[in-house]
Amino acid sequence: MFLPAFFRLATLSVAATLTVLGAHVFLRLTGEGGLTAVDFLRTALVAFSGFWLVWGSSAAILGVFRPVRIDTGKSGGGPQGMTAILVPVYNEDPIATFSRIAAMNRSLVDLGISHKFHFVILSDTQVMETAAQEVVWFNRLIEEPDAIGRIFYRRRERNIGRKAGNIEDFIARSGAAYDYALILDADSLMEGATIAAMARRMDGDEQLGLLQTVPHVIHARTLFGRSLQFASTYLSPTFARGAALMAGNEGPYWGHNAMVRMRAFAACCGLPVLSGKPPFGGHILSHDYVEAALLSRGGWKVNLDPSMTGSYEEGPENLIEYAKRDRRWCQGNLQHARLVDAPGLKIWSRFTFIQGIMAYMASPLWLLLLAASVIAALFPDMPTAMPGFVNINFSAWTLIVAVAVVLLLPKFAILSRGMFDGHNRRFGGTLRSLASVLGEIVVSTLLAPTLLLLQSRSVMQVLLGIDGGWPATTRGQNWVDLKTAFHASWWIVAIAILTLGGILILAPASAVWVAPAMVPAILAPFLISITSRPTSNAGTPLLFATDSELSRPSIVDAQRAIFAAWTGQGTQDAGLITVRTAQHVTA
């Protein structure tokens, strides 16, 4: 417990010191000749938003200096406990989902440990045609080796409590038959060896309540998706290593690709329905963070282990799908404001809630800072509240460069370390990694203003009490045509044109500060559309190549082969499959 406390304190000290320094520099710059009320507001916003920027970067730097340990899970025997591998689905493509289950099952069968693992498909599917298809493809799935008596399917007619309610329903009915549950998403894919290693870790540490892996994104095909995929595989493990150092035994749970101890989870994680109406009341949306906090409250260890390889997921392929998911997460994280003072929680759990809330509140705060700066530029003769500073011997660029360093330093530190520890080699060498890091910086910088406005809108909607619901994830939707992109982002273009146009007319000298944010926002429809274009199918593209593309994991190959075989057979031998109607789907 000493080490996490030390790292938390050290990171907090660094973040606080740099924030105070940054705020002081900003105040000196804006306060030349006299400080107005708007200057104080802007400084407060810079300090508040800047702190979270520095905090995130400090965590990553911490991860750069932590030794890397790779655990492929290949050593060690079979686990002792029984594990239920839970696959909650909600209007997903059953062929893709079930082919992943088939691949994971074959991987466990090959290791000779399949008798210790059951798969349970927990369907909350509400579209009846999809539900009927699930039964059709379940018939195919149970033709897999050792499937009978080990692979189960059940569907709820009403998806009460969404994913958390789905899992709770399973535990309430069958939980006592299992020691552990590996909780997956419909797009999760894990090597059998990794699953076995997780179960062995649970066997070996009776206090371990939850073990979270860092899933790597796979199968991305568009520029947007591949940029995200590269960030998740090349950069995220280092950020996670830093976060894990600070979290210690009070780590995060991301809702999937994680194993829980069944009796601990059952005893601690029955989620209540919050009083009041959505978005702040009702069922808890971002249940994973809450479940991690509750396990910690119950005295169980919650560990994040970035060293475990063989854990994969898929990501959104375009900015519109990303924003849809982000809207859901935004509502879920802001709902945690109700839980920050929940009785008995560990301080770190409360801080994690605040961190999650700030991940979304940061966007409207940056926007407010931009708006306040525009006002300051438009009305330079506002009455001063305090005498200002004199002899300012540095320019505004000092602050811009400082922000850029905070944002970019972790990425280049990861690249530098990768030259020595073999990380870059797995991604095609240092030059290729450098090109991808630079590409990721360009893509994320160009899309940042659009995301800032989208997130600000989400926050405003939640604060106004508008419930975003729980739209199903649309996987495999790639290209967004210009018309659709414009339909989704016209208001962003309008805001950007009005802001930049107003500044150019009324305070042209300040346009240089506003243009870097507003020009990409004006181009939002083009950027959304261009980044959603699938990349060439011929080989691995030069940019954003990942280790799993350059040396494809066996589980990914297996899943692709099963998917191809099933879809090929499905069209050729369709007559062999009994197409059942929805009445065969038990609820």
Partner 1 sequence: MKHSADFPFARALPDAPLDMPKQMLERRSLLDLLRMTLSALTGR
Instruction: Decide if residue 89 touches partner 1 (CB under 8 A).
Output: no
233: DSSP letter? I
Q: How far is the CB of 210 from partner 1 (least distance, A)?
A: 15
Q: What distance lies between CA 388 and its chain's CA centroid? A: 43
Stretch that binds partner 1, among 104-112, 221-229, 340-348, 405-413 (CB under 8 A): 340-348
Q: How far is the CB of 146 from partner 1 (least distance, A)?
A: 12
Q: Which is nearer to partner 1, 52 or 178 (CB)?
A: 178
Q: Computed from CA positions of residues 535, 539, 541, 544, in that sequence, does the dihedral angle turn out positive or negative?
A: positive
Q: Which of 1, 2, 341, 431 binds partner 1 (CB under 8 A)?
A: 341
Applying CB under 8 A, the site for partner 1 has a residue count of: 41
CA distances from 295 to 117, 265, 266, 329 (A): 23, 7, 10, 21
Would you state the torsion angle of the CA atoms of residues 165, 171, 173, 176, taken in this order, to the nearest 10 degrees? -170
Scan for tokens 């009083």, then name that residue. 275
Q: Which is nearer to partner 1, 475 or 584 (CB)?
A: 584
Stretch that binds partner 1, among 53-61, 126-134, 144-152, 433-441 (CB under 8 A): 144-152
Q: How far is the CB of 391 from partner 1 (least distance, A)?
A: 52
Degrees (nearest 5) of the Cα angle 509, 514, 519? 120
Q: Which is nearer to partner 1, 153 or 312 (CB)?
A: 153
CA-based nearest residue to 143, from 191, 91, 106: 106
Q: Which is nearer to partner 1, 118 or 241 (CB)?
A: 118
Instruction: Decide if residue 478 touches partner 1 (CB under 8 A).
Output: no
Instruction: Decide if residue 354 touches partner 1 (CB under 8 A).
Output: no
Q: Which of 270, 380, 387, 465 binds partner 1 (CB under 8 A)?
A: 270
Degrees (nearest 5) of the Cα angle 105, 110, 116? 60
Using CB under 8 A as the binding rule, the residues of this chain from 425 to 444 that contact partner 1 are none
> What would the two tokens of residue 484 be?
């659709």
The residues, any chain, with a CB within 8 Å of residue 419's CB and separated by 6 or more, are 430
CA-based nearest residue to 65, from 436, 303, 420, 352: 420
Which residues share a beta bridge with 180?
A: 83, 261
Q: In the 3-class helix/strand/coil scheme, how is 343-392 assigned residue by residue?
A: CCCCHHHHHHHHHHHHHHHHHHHHHHHHHHHHHHHHCCCCCCCECCECCC
CB atoms within 10 A of CB 196: 23
Write each residue from 374 to 393 as x if it is in contact with partner 1 (CB under 8 A), else as -, in one continuous string: --------------------
Stretch that binds partner 1, among 134-142, 209-217, 428-436, 513-521 (CB under 8 A): 134-142
Q: Which of 195, 269, 330, 361 binds partner 1 (CB under 8 A)?
A: 269
Tally of CA atoms within 13 A in the half-sphere of 485 that contains its CB? 22
The secondary structure element, H or E, covering residue 139 is helix 128-141
Q: Which is nearer to partner 1, 263 or 328 (CB)?
A: 263
Q: Are 324 and 468 in contact (CB under 8 A)?
A: no
Instruction: Decide if residue 274 touches partner 1 (CB under 8 A).
Output: yes
Using CB under 8 A as the binding rule, the residues of this chain from 171 to 230 that contact partner 1 are 171-178
Stretch that binds partner 1, among 132-140, 182-190, 311-319, 563-571 (CB under 8 A): 132-140
Q: Which is nearer to partner 1, 33 or 270 (CB)?
A: 270
Instruction: Decide if residue 343 touches partner 1 (CB under 8 A).
Output: yes
Stretch that binds partner 1, among 98-106, 167-175, 367-375, 437-445 (CB under 8 A): 167-175
CB neighbour burial string for 310-330, b if at least 16 within 10 angstroms, e if fewer: bbbbbbbbbbbbbbbebbbbb
> What would the two tokens of residue 517 be?
């944010």
Using CB under 8 A as the binding rule, the residues of this chain from 505 to 564 that contact partner 1 are none
Instruction: Decide if residue 460 touches partner 1 (CB under 8 A).
Output: no
CA-based nearest residue to 434, from 323, 544, 563: 544
Instruction: Decide if residue 267 touches partner 1 (CB under 8 A).
Output: yes
Q: How far is the CB of 309 from partner 1 (least distance, A)?
A: 31
Instruction: Decide if residue 325 touches partner 1 (CB under 8 A).
Output: no
Stretch that binds partner 1, among 264-272, 388-396, 401-409, 435-443 (CB under 8 A): 264-272
Would you state the torsion angle of the CA atoms of residues 162, 168, 169, 174, taken in this order, to the nearest 10 degrees? 150
Instruction: Decide if residue 142 touches partner 1 (CB under 8 A).
Output: yes
Q: Which of 266, 396, 446, 543 binds partner 1 (CB under 8 A)?
A: 266
Q: How far is the CB of 270 from partner 1 (least distance, A)?
A: 4
116: DSSP letter? G
Q: Which is nearer to partner 1, 120 or 527 (CB)?
A: 120
The residues, any chain, with a CB within 8 Å of residue 367's CB and separated by 6 or more, are 452, 453, 456
Q: Which of 67, 149, 383, 575 binds partner 1 (CB under 8 A)?
A: 149
Instruction: Decide if residue 582 touches partner 1 (CB under 8 A).
Output: no
Pairing of strands 301-305, 311-313: unpaired
Pairing of strands 117-123, 151-155: parallel
Residue type, 342: A
Alpha-carbon gap, residue 333 to 343, rounded angstroms:
18
Stretch that binds partner 1, among 30-38, 69-77, 146-154, 464-472 (CB under 8 A): 146-154
Stretch that binds partner 1, among 224-232, 266-274, 414-422, 540-548 (CB under 8 A): 266-274
Stretch that binds partner 1, among 32-40, 165-173, 227-235, 441-449 (CB under 8 A): 165-173
Which residues share a beta bridge with 87?
A: 121
Q: Which of 153, 230, 253, 544 binds partner 1 (CB under 8 A)?
A: 153
Instruction: Decide if residue 263 touches partner 1 (CB under 8 A).
Output: yes
Q: Which is nearer to partner 1, 174 or 477 (CB)?
A: 174
Residues contributing to the site for partner 1 (CB under 8 A) = 120, 135, 138-139, 142, 148-149, 152-154, 168-178, 262-263, 266-272, 274-275, 290, 294, 338-339, 341-343, 584, 586
